[in-house]
């Protein structure tokens, strides 16, 4: 069992480029420091300033648009989209991709909502424009969407390599809009979104490494 675990860890290390590994470690350190900071004192001066910015850019006539966007990309909306994606992957017999997506999204849900949020216990902003329950840090909204949409972008880029810049560009813009909508609606503090993006990137890196290893193992078995 020890030998198997050691081999798995070595395989994971090889599947993650060294530069990306260092980036993940840096993000993890920053995430830990920020988590400690908001758990000790949840009020950050910069958050108080930045949360006002969206309403200085967009008038209140945009409220319904951002509410719809939040509904579409929230827990229920994302669950439906993930479920449809899994059905499509299963229909195309992309079993490995479906397994990685299913377990990765489930893992993030448990990590954020069942472990990190109850541990850090940061309150959400006041005067929210939509009903949102639970703790605020880190944003599961941002974490889950980073993993899901960039994982889909990765699979699409493999299928359409010439369109890679456009695929990742669209995914990046879409994810920034999602994060912006959460701040606009005062569902999250800006630092919640930033932490969610960072955590999502780490989870995405692990998921892609798992995907590469699973594909290699399948080739060996064949």
> Which tokens in the block code for residue 218?
């399948």
| CA distance linking residue 199 with residue 29, whole number of Å | 11
Predicted pLDDT of residue 1: 42
Output the pTM of the full model.
0.88
Predicted pLDDT of residue 221: 67
Q: Which of 146, 212, 137, 196 is nearest to 175 (CA)?
A: 146
Predicted pLDDT of residue 133: 76
Phi and psi based region of residue 5 (left: phi greater than 0; alpha: psi -120 to 50; beta: remaining): alpha
- Residue carrying structure tokens 């827990």: 75
Number of C-beta neighbours around residue 176 at 10 A: 12
Residues in the chain: 222
- Residue carrying structure tokens 């299913």: 102
Residue-range domain boundaries for the chain: 21-39+49-221
| CA distance linking residue 122 with residue 95, whole number of Å | 38
> Which tokens in the block code for residue 17?
């480029």
Phi/psi of residue 135, nearest 5 degrees: -80, 175
- Residue carrying structure tokens 């109850």: 118
| CA distance linking residue 125 with residue 136, whole number of Å | 8
Please list the ranges in the chain whose pLDDT falls under 70: 1-13, 221-222
Contact between 153 and 167 under an 8 Å Cβ cutoff? The reply is: yes
């Amino acid at each position: 069992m020890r030998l198997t675990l050691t081999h798995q860890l070595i395989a994971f290390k090889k599947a993650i480029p060294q530069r990306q590994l260092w980036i993940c470690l840096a993000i993890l350190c920053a995430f830990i420091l920020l988590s400690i900071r908001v758990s000790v004192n949840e009020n950050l001066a910069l958050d108080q300033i930045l949360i006002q910015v969206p309403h200085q850019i967009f008038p209140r006539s945009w409220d319904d648009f951002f509410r719809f966007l939040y509904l579409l990309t929230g827990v229920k909306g994302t669950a439906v989209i993930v479920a449809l994606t899994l059905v499509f992957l299963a229909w195309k017999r992309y079993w490995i991709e479906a397994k990685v997506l299913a377990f990765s999204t489930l893992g993030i849900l448990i990590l954020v909502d069942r472990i990190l949020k109850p541990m850090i216990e940061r309150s959400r902003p006041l005067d929210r424009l939509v009903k949102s329950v639970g703790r605020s840090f880190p944003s599961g909204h941002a974490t889950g969407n980073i993993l899901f949409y960039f994982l889909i972008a990765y699979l699409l880029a493999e299928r359409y390599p010439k369109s890679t810049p456009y695929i990742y560009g669209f995914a990046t813009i879409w994810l920034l809009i999602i994060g912006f909508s959460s701040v606009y609606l005062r569902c999250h503090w800006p630092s919640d979104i930033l932490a969610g993006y960072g955590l999502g990137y780490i989870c995405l890196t692990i998921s892609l490494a798992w995907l590469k290893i699973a594909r290699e193992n399948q080739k060996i078995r064949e």
